Amino acid sequence: MNMSNLQPSEINTNSIYDCVIVPLRKIHNRAGNLTVVEGLKNLPFEVRRTYYLYDIPGGESRGGHAHKELYQLIIAAGGSFDVLLDDGENKKVVTLNRPYFGLLVVPGIWRELLEFSSGAICLVLASHKYEESDYIREYAQFMEFKGTAR
């Protein structure tokens, strides 16, 4: 997947089926496991921002937005949680519960993080630094962006 050739109109056509589980290499050792993630090697983007969510109370959700250009790899570094993906026409829920699998979320997809287990840690690797102008925070604006406003 070459992101540099995507035009804004093509991002509008991204679907939930473009969001895929990425297996990450697990290096096993009797003293514990190690997983390495390298941008442009096992990801289709260079990692420009990393953050993690933790201490999320039961029943709370996070996310609830889309991005115009940003790619993300979402990993359950500890515990488990669900990711609701929505492309304006289709929805699917992906459960993340292994630190050696990540969910690649492409631009133009609404996402919500739900059902966090106790002690869950959500690690996010992003293709861009924080830019408020890249966020779509209202669902009606997302539907308009996708061209599916009702």
> Could you list the active site residues?
65
User: What is the C-alpha radius of gyration for the chain, rounded to an integer number of angstroms?
Assistant: 15
Query: DSSP 3-state assignment of 43?
Result: strand
Residue 63 burial (C-beta neighbours within 10 Å; 0-12, 13-18, 19+): middle
SS3 assignment, position 1: coil
d(CA 109, CA 111): 6
Q: Is 110 exposed, middle or buried, given 0-12, 13-18 or 19+ CB atoms closer than 10 A?
A: buried
Give me the amino acid identity at 30: R
